[in-house]
Amino acid sequence: SYEGTLDANGEVLTLDTLGPSFSGDGRLVRYQDIIAWEGDDHRTLRSRAMGEDGGWGPYFVTAHYRRKR
């Protein structure tokens, strides 16, 4: 399940969740998906995981969604 927050402008949705570690060691780690509305026809999704140091690591996924008119 996800817990999320929407920024004050209603343009960035940040979703937090727990999931299995990419290392396959059975640990659960925190993940964050950030969805940003860039305009009427464009959204971006970025994903990252929390590192062992407690800080967010680099984005491992960036996707652009564009509506075709």
Distance, CA of 14 to CA of 31 (rounded, Å): 10
Segments in the chain below pLDDT 70:
none
pTM reported for the whole predicted model: 0.88
Q: pLDDT at position 69, please? A: 86
- Taking the CA of residue 8 as centre, how many other CA atoms within 13 Å lie in the half-sphere pointing to its CB? 0
Q: pLDDT at position 5, please? A: 98
Q: pLDDT at position 23, please? A: 86
